[in-house]
Structure 1
Amino acid sequence: MPVLSVLPPDFLEQLTSYVTPTRLLVGCLVLWVSAVRAFRWRRYNAIHREYEAKWNNGQGTITPEEAQKICHVSTMYDMPELLNNALAFALFKTYAVPTISKLLVQMKQLSSSNTVSRRYADTEILISTWFTCPISGFHDPQFALKNREMGDDAQPAEDPRAMIALARTNWLHGHYKISNDDYLYTLCLFILEPITWARKYGWRPLSPLEQHSFYTLWAEIGRRMNLQDIPESVEAFQIWGREYEERVMVPTQSNHDTAVHTLNELLAAAPNAFGIKKFGERIAICLLDDIVREAMMYPASPWIYHVIANSLMSSVSFIQRWFMLPRRHPKTHFDTSLGLRFAPGVCPRMHPKKWTAKPWYKPESTGLGYYRDKLLVSIGFYNEMPGAHLKSDGYRLEEVGPAAFENSAHEEVMKNAADLLGCPIAGPWSLEARKGAGI
């Protein structure tokens, strides 16, 4: 018997009168929000199921390699843009320390837009590389531990880029007199700013396990940079950081000059028309703590700018939490798969996935890509077209840094990277591959 024959004659009429456009819209919205809620927390729940019992609320132990995996959930999938900006702001805040800002002025890294933009690009490359690529050199940390114990028979690292970047950083820093406390304060901000930004502006805060993982990973980076007296927890770092700011943050011209040059670089793509760039500067200043803003000699922004800044950030986090599905693929600063994709004898160069106004390391485009870049230059998104003068052929990690040091200490950097890894470096990232390619 047909189904419709057993239904009341006016069934369709009743159904259409009940399912009004408003009810249909509300129903679809509820279904969508429920789907977003179900999918958005999957990675968060999965990583906590895997490691929360092992950590046991601080009674257990999380290794640096495990901490790196835990951190990647928030930094690559859940809040990549927000936490990347948090790290950029952490570095920006260090310029309120006179000993740091004076050193940057003496280094003449702020003497032109070229040096400022390249320093920013290189710093982001180095930090993102050791944060993103496996610090053990292997995608299986357990194998890395066993491999270290094999001594001369140890296998070469699968992906040594993290420690090449860190060894290059250590070598570059070795040219300057930087106090242990200034190093510690920078490390402190790299731990605390993502935690603070996620709590204030993120669609979710970082859990205690995630906060501990940020500490564990960055503390390990600090030890590999030979930092001394690293505080023993997130809470201890918070206390140390506040005391350090109160002790050393005072207004100086070098603080102001360094901050202005850096903020100009960060806002280089913003047009001056209609006061847009000035507005962006005001909003950025609103995100600074008063002690930092005063040390940089910036005037306080009117209250309305604070309302606008907080409203913008809160709106984005609200939309993300309730209406946006989570990322399916990790968002990284560069192609993380490169370490596994090249045949023996190939010597790759790397390119970032995003660029500032002066597009360092951006490949020269052809076809429609060339006209796209021309359009972006014409509207001020880029200051100039990619080219050889901006290293459009890409970078090698052992070269990264000021132009004067590009061809220096490659052997020393690779040796130190191998020491940090506890195993040899071979394959596409090695100096042997570089020499074989005639570079």
Structure 2
Amino acid sequence: MISFSQVLDATVPHVSNLLRFKRYREVHKKYQHKYEAGKLTPEDAQKIMRVSAMYDMPRLLGYSLAFALFKTYGIPSISKLLAATKQLKGSETISRRYADTEILISTWVGCPISGYATEDRTGEIDPRAMIALARVNYLHSRYNIAWARKYGWRALSPLEEHAYYIFWVEIGKRMGIRDIPESLESMKLWSRAYEKQYMVANPINSAVAGYTMGELLYSVPNAFGLRRWVENLSTCLLDEPVRIAMMKPAQPWYNHLFLRSVLYSISFVQRWLMLPRSDSNHRHPVLLDFLKNPDGTINPRMHPTKYTVLPWYKPEPSTILGRTWDRLLVLMKIHSHVPSKSLRSEGYRLEEVGPIKLETVAREEVLKAAAVLQGCPITGAFTQ
């Protein structure tokens, strides 16, 4: 006689797998024909991306993006430029740069680049994506898909890969980048050729990578050589040309085996034993929902959905329990400091993110540029 536990063991993986692919099936049913006809728009691409980036594999794809940015430190000309900005040489500036980069990119992905939350283009306009883009363009004027296939509980489909390409090409065009390759395959070929020519070993690469690694591994204790071991494991995630360019030591086979065993085990558990993420459980700023001031007026400042080692933009707690919890996070080395006014606990405005010395610079210029990108004036709380 079959027991209840045996039925459960046989049923749970299949039910979990069925539910986990629900959004995947829906988005392919809706957009596959447009993809095959070559008619996907950037707005379509953004909606397709959200399935994997916001619900199916948000943490993994977030880490893959972080490592894609980290990978650029293997090119000496980029490392020298980053070192010259002095934004990666101290805990305060590194955490601020990471917090701001996370805010800007998550705003591009989570907020509609069309400015409309609905397909019929009605309702209140949401200009956050274009304000974030205009701010990046201003800051720049002054001075990866493979992970899902390797370590995710599912690979991205051709439709999803193409959507990522279409979306980021659109972002690149709005940033004024020229001569962008005309297809995903052309982009891959160009990227490999560029890396082969310019990614070479240089001490400046190692220095810039070291600053960032210190931020990422802040909470890992030094005791018993644990931090050094975790740093060695992280080196296993780097492609061989990147490792050589950053002058990182080659890792023994057992470190590679251990790391991949852990990552593959996680992907197996996620696919077969875990239910999908709920619609409200995402890590991107989707809803246009402002905080309120004590007098009931709108507070145009916002807070991130997650925080860096130095907790930039994290609100100061108003209760004893909240303050105790923040101190406990410091003791556990999750954060290095408690929230404070100096860390902008009141929140951020998209047109102000970036280096501290540029917070109050060019606000009106950024909003005007955002209006041009949006195709209409920026109004409402964003102009307060």
Counterpart residue number, 1:296? 246
Structure 2 residue runs without a partner (length 5+): none
Q: Which residue of 1 aligns with 2:214?
A: 264
Residue in 1 that maps onto 2:26: 46
Per the alignment, residue 422 of structure 1 pairs with: 375
Instruction: Supply the distance in 2 between the matched residues of 1:257 and 1:333 (Cα, whole angstroms).
Output: 31
Pick aligned residue for 1:351 from 270, 292, 303: 303
Is 2:290–2:302's contact at 8 Å kept on the other side of the alignment? no
- Please give the residue correspondences for 1:92-131 in structure 2 after superposition, counting only pairs within 5 Å: 92-131=70-109
Q: Which amino acid aligns with 1:96?
A: G
SS in 2 for 1:34: helix
RMSD: 1.8
Shift of the alpha carbon at 1:333?
3.8
Structure 1 residues 352 and 199: alpha-carbon distance in aligned structure 2, compared to 1, 3 A threshold:
same
Task: Tell me by how many angstroms 1:141 deviates.
Answer: 4.7
* Partner Cα separation in structure 2 for residue 357 and residue 340 of structure 1: 25
Matches within 5 A, 1:399-418: 399-418=352-371
Deviations 1:215-239 (A, max 9, x none): 0000000000010110111111111
Matches within 5 A, 1:196-211: 196-211=146-161
Q: Give the deviation of 1:128 after TM superposition.
A: 1.1
Deviation at residue 367 of structure 1 after TM alignment: 2.5
CA distance in 2, matches of 1:51, 1:38: 20
Distance 1:218 1:140, change over 3 A: same
- On the 8 A contact 2:220/2:226 being kept in 1, the answer is yes
Contact 1:76 1:330 in 2 (8 A): no
| Correspondence list, 1:80-229, <5 A | 80-143=58-121, 158-176=125-143, 193=144, 195-229=145-179
1:30 correspondence with 2:10: yes
Amino acid at match of 2:304: P
Q: Name the CA distance, whole Å, in 2 between partners of 1:272 and 1:126.
A: 32
The one-letter code sitting in structure 1 at the alignment partner of 2:314 is K
User: Which amino acid in structure 1 is aligned with residue 300 of structure 2?
Assistant: P
Change (3 A) 1:140 1:341: farther
**Structure-2 residue corresponding to 1:306:** 256
Secondary structure of 1:95 counterpart: helix
Shift of 1:335: 4.0
CA-CA distance at 1:283 after TM superposition? 1.3
Q: Describe the shift of the 1:332–1:101 C-alpha distance in structure 2 as closer, same or farther (beyond 3 A).
A: farther
User: Take 2:146 and 2:178, find their aligned partners in 1: how far apart are those partners?
Assistant: 25
Cα distance in 2 for partners of 1:302, 1:330 equals 42
Q: State the 1:330 CA deviation.
A: 4.8
The change in CA–CA distance for 1:107 and 1:159 in structure 2 (over 3 A counts) is: same
Q: CA separation in 2, counterparts of 1:354 and 1:421?
A: 27
Q: What is the aligned length?
A: 381
1:242 aligned to which of 192, 204, 213: 192
Residue in 2 that maps onto 1:4? none
- CA offsets, 1:8-42, max 9 Å, x none? xxxxxxxxxx34xxx43221111211211221110
- The answer (yes or no) to whether the contact 1:350–1:394 under 8 Å persists in 2 is yes
CA distances 1:248-289 after superposition (whole Å, capped 9, x unpaired) = 011111111110000111111212123222222111110000
Distance 1:79 1:221, change over 3 A: same
**Cα deviation, residue 364, structure 1:** 1.1
Aligned to 1:55: 35
Choose which of 333, 351, 362 in structure 2 pairs with 1:398: 351
> What's the CA shift for 1:354?
1.1
**Partner AA of 1:361 in structure 2:** Y
Q: Sequence identity of aligned pairs in percent?
A: 51
Displacement of 1:142 = 4.9
